[in-house]
Chains A and B, each alone.
Chain A
Amino acid sequence: MRVYLDHAATTPVFKQVAEEVTKVFTENFGNASSLHSHGQEAKQIYEDARTVIANFINASADEIFFTSGGTESDNIAIMGFLKANFPQGGHIITTQIEHPAVLEVARYLQSHGYDVTYLKPSFEGYVLPEDFEKAIRKETVLASIMWVNNETGVIQPIDQISKIARKYGITLHSDAVQAIGKIKIDASLVDMLSASGHKFYAPKGCGFLYVSKSVNLDPIILGGGHEKGLRSGTENVPGAHGMAVALKTIDSNYPDWSTKVRVLREKILAAISQIPEHHINGTQSIFSHINVSFKGINGETLATALDMHGISVSTASACSSHHKMTRSHVLEAMDLSDWMIDGAIRITLGYDNTEEEIDYFIQILSEQVKRLRKI
């Protein structure tokens, strides 16, 4: 049996999404910027997708900008905001647990005259709103705080951070790549929000950026002036349509599907609780995530043993050919013990998982932990 439990890395494209996208590829292939009917048909699909996505996150269609995915959205949001409004420098607040798509931008900005504060998370994996407030200075111009952490699944207190950011007039961006399609997102809590299609059962290579009407961005990609000049490049109509169909599908099945995933997660957690000396890394996690370590077992080793039994999970700490052990910057920032960091595996469920798959996973997990502890 093959079991996919790495939905935080990527998701399978829903069959209905694949069918709809294929139709756009082959039938509605016009360039959405063309004035002829082929182009205008494509343009209509593209704009309809924008409206669906906007409605899904409580935004308006003119606040949605299509991009190639989460990394591009994060880059446009942060770099575009600073370029337009604070090109001379300023203070930025982010967290130590961001995805590299934000962290690397922050580091780049640090080397180009900006000052950056990286908030440390608690042992449980979330940043504290009071720490955010304490980090604010009079020259703070932007904050970028992720909605849900990709490794631990811990939901960050965006609603409280939003209130503080509003109080001090600080523009707030959130990387919501792991949140969209799993928990209800109200984009109006933030000023900018990044999303990636392949994390919610749409194709790879498409994403979007929500930008509040009140926020002004300069483009970082120049060209034909697509997306109101913010993101030049021929419109990815199949990708946009795929995201819209995926979100509509999730929306109409959400009560059943989310309940199913919650039940499967509880089943896994119950099985893990029977295995001695484990640690669940992070609390207040999203219903699809489990990040767990088993004392005495290296995370890569357990993930490899599971993979050899057809089960895909991921691990953030591993050796690569020319590097020594690389460790998860997220788990390190949480100040977990060495065995928790080196032993962590990430199990991320999806709407396509079945009870039979989880029963098989639980059996193999228990067997392999027992076996590897004897070596």
Chain B
Amino acid sequence: MAYSERFKDLFLNPRYAQDIGYTHTAEVVYPEHGDRVRIFVKIENYLIRDIAFKASGCPRVIAASEAVCRLANGRHIDFIKTLNEEHIRQEMEFFDKGFECIRAPLEALKKAISKIES
């Protein structure tokens, strides 16, 4: 499969595959794809002050996790609620149809912040 330079950067040099002191976390598993993502966020005043992920699975789920973290870090949780798969694909420069696994990290992030009311 041919990947863009952007995708390669996300996959090979993820900055957010790290340990952080977090306030909220959630995990999403796509068992039929063999993918598992956990997102960790540190939230202060509705702002994502820090974010991290742990992922196992295909290259696309790792790149998508990094893309979600890069898009979300420093942003208000209301902004997170507006994010969708298309934004993630743009960030990844990955437009091949199908590959539902790309949705997993954003689902995990939204799940992590779901109980916070702004």
**A375→B99 contact, CB < 8 A:** no
Q: Does A164 contact B (CB under 8 A)?
A: no
Q: Does B33 contact A (CB under 8 A)?
A: yes
In the complex, chain B residues whose CB is within 8 Å of the CB of A321: 96-99
Q: Quick one: CB contact mask for A275-315 with B, threshold 8 Å, 1 for yes?
A: 00000000000000000000011101100110010000000
Bound form: Cα–Cα A304–B60 in Å: 10
Q: Pick from B11-19, B73-81, B83-91 the stretch touching chain A.
A: B11-19
Chain B residue nearest in CB terms to A323: B98
Bound form: Cα–Cα A246–B44 in Å: 68
Q: Does B114 contact A (CB under 8 A)?
A: no
Bound form: Cα–Cα A301–B59 in Å: 5
Q: Does A319 contact B (CB under 8 A)?
A: yes
Question: How far in angstroms is the closest Cβ of chain A from B15?
Answer: 11
Q: Does B106 contact A (CB under 8 A)?
A: no
**B59→A304 contact, CB < 8 A:** yes
**A325→B33 contact, CB < 8 A:** yes
Q: Quick one: CB contact mask for B1-34 with A, threshold 8 Å, 1 for yes?
A: 1010000100110100100000000000000111
Q: When the two chains form the complex, which single residue of B14, B56, B62, B101 contacts A296, counting CB atoms closer than 8 Å?
A: B56
Number of A residues, CB within 8 Å of B: 18
Q: Does A324 contact B (CB under 8 A)?
A: yes
With contact pairs A296-B56, A305-B59 given, residues A319 and B99 touching in the complex (Cβ less than 8 Å):
yes
**A319→B17 contact, CB < 8 A:** no
**A324→B56 contact, CB < 8 A:** no
**B11→A305 contact, CB < 8 A:** yes
Bound form: Cα–Cα A297–B57 in Å: 7
Q: Does A318 contact B (CB under 8 A)?
A: yes
In the complex, chain A residues whose CB is within 8 Å of the CB of B14: 375
Bound form: Cα–Cα A319–B57 in Å: 10
In the complex, chain A residues whose CB is within 8 Å of the CB of B97: 321-322
Count of A-B contacts with CB under 8 A? 51
Interface centre among B8, B17, B34 (most CB of A within 10 A): B34
Main secondary structure on A side of the interface with B: mixed
Main secondary structure on B side of the interface with A: loop
Question: How far in angstroms is the closest Cβ of chain A from B98?
Answer: 3
**A342→B11 contact, CB < 8 A:** no
Chain A residue nearest in CB terms to B54: A375
**B34→A342 contact, CB < 8 A:** yes
**A375→B55 contact, CB < 8 A:** yes
**A319→B11 contact, CB < 8 A:** no
**B56→A375 contact, CB < 8 A:** yes
**B34→A298 contact, CB < 8 A:** yes
Q: Does A374 contact B (CB under 8 A)?
A: yes
In the complex, chain B residues whose CB is within 8 Å of the CB of A296: 56
**A319→B54 contact, CB < 8 A:** no
With contact pairs A308-B8, A374-B17 given, residues A324 and B32 touching in the complex (Cβ less than 8 Å):
yes
Interface centre among B57, B58, B59, B101 (most CB of A within 10 A): B59
In the complex, chain A residues whose CB is within 8 Å of the CB of B53: 375
In the complex, chain B residues whose CB is within 8 Å of the CB of A319: 33-34, 58, 60, 99, 101
Bound form: Cα–Cα A374–B98 in Å: 27
- Top 8 A-B pairs ranked by shortest CB distance? A321-B98, A324-B32, A304-B59, A375-B17, A322-B98, A325-B34, A301-B59, A319-B58
Q: B residues engaging A (CB < 8 A)?
A: 1, 3, 8, 11-12, 14, 17, 32-34, 53-60, 62, 96-99, 101
Given contacts A325-B32, A375-B53, 10 further A-B contacts (CB under 8 A): A298-B58, A300-B58, A300-B59, A301-B59, A308-B3, A319-B33, A319-B34, A321-B98, A324-B33, A374-B17
Q: A residues engaging B (CB < 8 A)?
A: 296-298, 300-301, 304-305, 308, 318-322, 324-325, 342, 374-375
Question: Could you jot down 27 A-B contacts, CB within 8 Å?
Answer: A296-B56, A298-B58, A300-B59, A301-B57, A301-B58, A304-B1, A304-B3, A305-B11, A308-B12, A319-B33, A319-B101, A320-B98, A321-B97, A321-B98, A321-B99, A322-B98, A324-B33, A325-B32, A325-B33, A342-B34, A374-B17, A375-B14, A375-B17, A375-B53, A375-B54, A375-B55, A375-B56
